[in-house]
Copies of this chain bind each other. A is one copy, B any other.
Amino acid sequence: MNSNKLDGTKFRIIPLGGLGEVGKNMMAYEYGDNLLVVDAGLMFPDNDMLGIDYIIPDFQYLLANRQKVRGIVVTHGHEDHTGAIKHLLDQIQAPIYTTPLTRGLLEVKLSRGGQLGQSRLNTVRAGDTVQIGPFQVEFFHVCHSIPDGVGLGITTPAGLVVHTGDYKFDHTPVDNWPTDYAKLAEFAGRGVLALLADSTNADKPGWTPSERVIDAAFDQVFREAPGRIIVASFASLISRMQQVANAALNNGRRLAFAGSSMVENARIARKLGYLDIPDDLQVSLEQALRMSPKEVALMTTGTQGEPTSILGRLSTGTNRQFDILPGDTIVLSSHPIPGNEEGVNRTINRLFRRGANVIYESIAPVHVSGHARQEEMKLLLHLVKPKYFIPIHGELRHLRQHAALARQVGVPQENIAVVENGQVVEIQNGKMHIAERIPGGYVFVDGSGVGEIGPSVVREREILARDGFVLVNLILDRATCRLVEEPEIITRGFVHTPEADELFDATRRMVSQAVDCSSNGRMQQDLVETLKSFFYTKTKRRPMVFVTLSRA
């Protein structure tokens, strides 16, 4: 019997993303010399991460153990679960396992970076079981705001672990494929060592409404709209595309998709059978723009207030192919990601200003969340009956709230681990405990660089963003230490220069007097300090100050 030996091996749960922050979900499971990676997402930066394009998980731990990585499982096709896979594949060659739609969406991304050829992609379907190293992975269907999502039952030598991915319990999903309750109950029958479950909506009471509630709202909008209808949503919300197509069909309108990601995703989803659009329902954008407004519906992206999206450009009148027409009805079928509220509201106001009627979440039920709420979370816990519970996918406040729900349904406090990214949890001899911390922070991606922007650069950008900078360039006579020319002043982001001539005249006078060659090596530094306090006194602002010095 070697069961004792197996039990004694450490089973490690290694959260690399998605715990304590939303949006860059990534998890690794380790047993002996084997690592299984689940998802690798990106997140968009907070408003104060200035100039950063996006953020990916810090997977140093995987790089240090790259020979142990047996596979990468992807639960569904959203960016926050797939966006960092291309960066991972740059460094680690491991087979990928996904369902058909997820694979289709991922292939688009990988082919853009020229990585599709070398990638080892394997198609799995809900109900399949795959052996990946010592991990036997059972894929089970979950409802989410994208079709073909799966959760995982991972049988390890240490026991059975259930990992939900993003899920909800929609009884009437658009594709009529509910979450696999029976499988969850079957897992419970076998005995579940640990459950790791989506916490996104843990502070929302009740039950997330079914996607179906949107149908009635769409139908009303499509019936009453006096002109064109433009529905904005995420490019990956395939089920929303289906609902818009249904509403168009029922109300005698043709449907066109606008924007490359939306067009491409719709094409793949149709090809793979996840989107049912009759051929004569769909028209090209060019055709749609030539038709009478009452006869068309457009679908596009830009629900997060992104200025460069089609909806963003429509709101500022800078879209290339078409403009808002008075009488257009715009539907934002979406919810702002935290931090985007202001930009979204501004876009809505601008669209109103251009003569459109805008319908958004608080006006009519044109969007529902793809994530379970509190009552669904309790149902999951009762179905799965885990020994240990680890809330995942959420900010710390969501994880804490999810833990409170678990206690309410009877999971003992000591069997719950609320951890953040980088905090390893170990199970050994059937006992869970908190282990060491590994790097679990951000990696910034900016322009073409990955990770070369650190917090210090962002901090510099913050100061520049607040008060700008002033540079004073001095040319001194080598012999007399007198200024050869008037000091040159370069400033940006500090004061409105035409109105600040007086300030800079005073600065020049002040500098001329303050030049003191006797201080020698410290002159530049002294001048910087003098200028800093001068500017603060005059303006109550603290620009960055630089002095350059040449001797002629």
Q: Which of B363, B452, B490, B544 contacts A492 (CB 8 A)?
A: B544
Q: Are the C-beta atoms of B51 and A466 separated by less than 8 Å?
A: yes
Proximity bits, A340-352, B CB within 8 Å = 1, else 0: 0110011011001
Q: Are the C-beta atoms of A551 and B548 separated by less than 8 Å?
A: no
Confirm or deny: A550 has a beta carbon within 8 angstroms of a beta carbon on chain B.
yes
- The residues in A between 425 and 459 inclusive whose CB is less than 8 angstroms from any CB of B are 446-449, 452-454, 456-457
Q: Are the C-beta atoms of B397 and A352 separated by less than 8 Å?
A: yes
Q: Which residues of B contact A465 (CB under 8 A)?
A: 50-51, 461-462, 464-465
Q: Are the C-beta atoms of A203 and B548 separated by less than 8 Å?
A: no
Q: Which residues of B contact A360 (CB under 8 A)?
A: 203, 397
Q: Which of B51, B339, B464, B495 contacts A449 (CB 8 A)?
A: B495
Nearest CB of B to A279, in Å: 38
Q: Which residues of B contact A492 (CB under 8 A)?
A: 460-461, 463-464, 469, 544
Closest to A536 in B: B447
Q: Which residues of B contact A346 (CB under 8 A)?
A: 46
Closest to A484 in B: B550
Q: Are the C-beta atoms of B461 and A352 separated by less than 8 Å?
A: no
- The residues in A between 151 and 176 inclusive whose CB is less than 8 angstroms from any CB of B are none
Confirm or deny: A494 has a beta carbon within 8 angstroms of a beta carbon on chain B.
yes
A469 to B396, CA, bound (A): 36
Among A338, A353, A460, A488, which residue has the most Cβ atoms of chain B within 10 A? A460
Main secondary structure of the interface of A (DSSP, over half): mixed
A539/B395 contact (C-beta < 8 A), A51-B467, A51-B493, A490-B471 known? no
A539/B447 contact (C-beta < 8 A), A457-B495, A548-B548 known? yes
Confirm or deny: A468 has a beta carbon within 8 angstroms of a beta carbon on chain B.
yes
For this complex, into which size category does the number of interface residues on chain A fall?
Answer: 35 or more
A544 to B493, CA, bound (A): 11
Q: Are the C-beta atoms of A452 and B499 separated by less than 8 Å?
A: yes
A349/B546 contact (C-beta < 8 A), A342-B339, A452-B496 known? no
Among A46, A468, A499, which residue has the most Cβ atoms of chain B within 10 A? A468
- The residues in A between 43 and 66 inclusive whose CB is less than 8 angstroms from any CB of B are 46-47, 50-51
Closest to A457 in B: B496
Q: Are the C-beta atoms of B349 and A395 separated by less than 8 Å?
A: yes
Q: Which residues of B contact A182 (CB under 8 A)?
A: none
Confirm or deny: A532 has a beta carbon within 8 angstroms of a beta carbon on chain B.
no
Proximity bits, A175-204, B CB within 8 Å = 1, else 0: 000000000000000000000000000011
Q: Are the C-beta atoms of B471 and A471 separated by less than 8 Å?
A: yes
Nearest CB of B to A455, in Å: 9
Confirm or deny: A400 has a beta carbon within 8 angstroms of a beta carbon on chain B.
yes
Closest to A397 in B: B348
Confirm or deny: A290 has a beta carbon within 8 angstroms of a beta carbon on chain B.
no
Proximity bits, A198-221, B CB within 8 Å = 1, else 0: 000001100000000000000000
Closest to A203 in B: B362
A114 to B67, CA, bound (A): 71
Confirm or deny: A129 has a beta carbon within 8 angstroms of a beta carbon on chain B.
no
Q: Which residues of B contact A401 (CB under 8 A)?
A: 363
Nearest CB of B to A492, in Å: 4
Q: Are the C-beta atoms of A493 and B460 separated by less than 8 Å?
A: yes
Nearest CB of B to A224, in Å: 13
- The residues in A between 378 and 423 inclusive whose CB is less than 8 angstroms from any CB of B are 395-397, 400-401, 420
Q: Which residues of B contact A490 (CB under 8 A)?
A: 471, 546, 548
A–B pairs, 13, beta carbons within 8 Å: A338-B342, A349-B396, A358-B397, A452-B495, A454-B496, A457-B496, A460-B468, A461-B493, A471-B471, A471-B490, A473-B473, A473-B550, A551-B552
The 4 lowest CB-CB distance pairs between A and B, nearest first, are A447-B540, A465-B465, A464-B464, A339-B342
Interface residues of A (CB under 8 A from B): 20, 46-47, 50-51, 203-204, 338-339, 341-342, 345-346, 348-349, 352-353, 357-358, 360, 362-363, 395-397, 400-401, 420, 446-449, 452-454, 456-457, 460-469, 471, 473, 475, 488, 490, 492-496, 499-500, 539-541, 544, 546, 548, 550-552
